[in-house]
Structure 1
Amino acid sequence: MKQRPRPVPQRDAEADLDALARALAALDRPGQVRSFLEDLCTPAELEAMSDRWKVVPLLLAGLPYREIHERTGVSVTTIGRVARSLERGTGGYGIAIERLQRTPRRKAGAS
């Protein structure tokens, strides 16, 4: 994780996150988002985010943590963190799942 010499004021951190969210929202296609994420994130960060996203539908389907771990290789700790976010987070996972269920699928990597 990035080490900062001084704490970033909360309002600056929120503005930075808002700017990132606007950049993602400005992209129209999965291929564009993928390119942006590959430029923005390290391979380890992409793997961590992909792992979290991979377990969301399995948690929503009610699978036990151990079974999700066996199917995906994602750690039980990470699965628990995702489950906590699903229960007490801001609702982002749910919004994304709902939109994906309503939207016709495009080819992977389409730009």
Structure 2
Amino acid sequence: MAWVHLVLAGILEIIWAFSMKKAAGFTLIVPSVITIVAMIASVVLLSLAMRSLPLGTAYTIWTGIGAVGAFAVGVIVLGEAATPMRLIAALLIVTGIVLMKLSGSAT
């Protein structure tokens, strides 16, 4: 169940990053509320995952899902540049996430 919590926390990380962008500096109420609610829910789920997963594993994977997911949303939804260097950087983050999961330090 810890891995489910962690993945959901990572997805919420993506949601709050996107809604924060849409909140225009917290001047728009709906995306601002979505941002705050998603942030809180993401941290709560991360906390639940950390009950049984090592700190380094849980935090690294949580931030990695958020970073790569926010990058993907930026490219796909917001039309941000998908330059070769940015794609390589995202691939390296995904590689790190997979290696962390396979490292054996995770339960």
For normalisation by structure 1, the TM-score amounts to 0.32
Flag the structure with larger Rg. Answer: 1
For normalisation by structure 2, the TM-score amounts to 0.33
Q: Which has the higher helix share?
A: 2
